[in-house]
Structure 1
Amino acid sequence: MSYVFAVGDDVIWDPALRVGKLFIAIADSLGDHDELKGVRNGLSMMTSDYYNVNPQELADYMRAVLTSSVVRNRAYKELSRGFIVACLVMLERAGVTIEPVNDSQRDLFEAKSEMMRAM
Structure 2
Amino acid sequence: MSYPFQSTGTPLWDPALRVGEVYLGQAHSVADVLGVPSGLTPLRNGTCDLDPETFAAFVEHLLRFHNKGRHQSLSRMLHGVLVVSLVLMGRAGCPPPPPGGEVRDALLAEASALEPTMPR
TM-score range, shorter chain: 0.7 to 0.9
Greater relative CO (CA pairs within 8 A, separation 6+) = 2
Contact kept? 2:31, 2:58, Cα under 8 Å: no
- Give aligned-pair identity as a percent: 29
What's the Cα RMSD here? 1.6
Structure 1 gaps, min length 5 = none
Equivalent residue for 1:18? 18
Q: Provide the C-alpha distance between the structure 2 equivalents of 1:78 and 1:109, rounded to a whole number of angstroms.
A: 16
Structure 2 gaps, min length 5 = none
Q: In the alignment, residue 25 of structure 1 is paired with which amino acid?
A: G
User: Residue by residue, what CA displacement relative to the aligned partner does 1:4-30 show, whole Å, maximum 9, x if unpaired?
Assistant: 110111110010011011101211221
1:98 Cα deviation after fit: 1.7
> TM-score, normalising length from structure 2?
0.86
Are 1:8 and 2:5 an aligned pair? no
User: How do 1:1-119 residues align onto structure 2 when only pairs under 5 Å count?
Assistant: 1-33=1-33, 36-37=34-35, 39-47=36-44, 49-68=46-65, 70-71=66-67, 72=69, 73-99=71-97, 100-119=99-118
Q: Provide the C-alpha distance between the structure 1 equivalents of 2:28 and 2:38, rounded to a whole number of angstroms.
A: 9
Q: Secondary structure at the match of 1:111?
A: helix
Q: Provide the C-alpha distance between the structure 2 equivalents of 1:104 and 1:114, rounded to a whole number of angstroms.
A: 15
TM superposition outliers: structure 1 runs of 4+ over 3 Å: none
User: Residue by residue, what CA displacement relative to the aligned partner does 1:27-53 show, whole Å, maximum 9, x if unpaired?
Assistant: 1221231xx11x111101212731110
Q: Provide the C-alpha distance between the structure 2 equivalents of 1:79 and 1:63, rounded to a whole number of angstroms.
A: 17
1:96 Cα deviation after fit: 1.1
1:102 Cα deviation after fit: 2.9
Q: Secondary structure at the match of 2:49?
A: strand
